Amino acid sequence: MTPFFVLNQFLNYLSTEKRFSEHTVIAYENDLKQFFEFSEIDSLTKLVEINHQLIRSWLVYMVDMGLSNKTANRKLSSLRSFVKWCQKNGYFDQNPFRKVVSPKVAKRLPVFIKESDLEAEKVGAYFSKDFKGIRNLLIIEIFYQTGIRLSELINMKISDIQNESIKVLGKRNKERVIPISNNLIQKIKAYIILRGQLNTTEENLFIRENGKKIYEKLVYRIINIYLSSHTNIEKRSPHVLRHTFATHMMNNGVGLEVLKNLLGHADLTATQVYTHNSFSQLTSIYSQAHPRGQKK
């Protein structure tokens, strides 16, 4: 048995039991192979002799190579998960991570778009009335009105569209239902009518003009082009619209627990980052509204 046989077992566990996406499994594989190469692990004996000194050396090496603390932490997390799995399966007696301290990462607030830059009339006026224009408009509207992830939008099927909601299959195949407005329902129906004229057998909701499923780079391009022409923010990815959805919901009074469920977060910690943006909004309102807070 080789260390790569053990690695492949772990990757299979991530894929089949944890149901991680292919992209995530590949990231784990790359991180762990980099650690194996750095540590010169070429036998099972060397694998089970991994200790905290070796992990610390790898951490120092990554920092010296110019990797950010965030990236180094992600790679450490991959190794930590692998070691934990190895312990569970009898390869390790002790946890070598007990004496390893992860580098601190500065928390950055999510970037979001102002409500005025996403007014329905403004967004609608930008796109043409043909198939491509209506599809691209709908992509932006669904991102902004539901806060779903890029992968969730790409894999959304026509059958996921219900009368007043959208069924979303999120991370680890966790399903959630998101309510949608009547206005969005009408936009979806208009798109589906045009979509039907392409005579495609594709089950996914969003397709290209050739009838085939859309892909990540195309969606990135659609979002980037629109945000470049309407905002000054540096980040112009689909995830910015997810952040925008969450921030606007918080600013308009939605509770953390409700927002957590809408976003599909596993726990409340991930959702709490949006309270910072909400507090900034409250601070601005306070300074304008309270007699003692008004600037002279």
Which domains are delineated in the chain? 3-99 (1.10.150.130), 115-287 (1.10.443.10)
| Closest among 157, 152, 177 to 167, alpha carbons compared | 177
DSSP code for 89: T
| Closest among 123, 126, 135 to 196, alpha carbons compared | 135
C-alpha 203/C-alpha 163 separation (Å) is 18
pLDDT of residue 82: 93
Interval 129-168: pLDDT, tens: 999 999 999 999 999 999 999 999 999 999 999 888 999 9
* Active-site amino acid positions: 149, 171, 239, 242, 265, 274
pLDDT: which is higher, 234 or 262 = 262
Taking residues 90-94, report their average pLDDT. 82
pLDDT: which is higher, 51 or 44 = 51
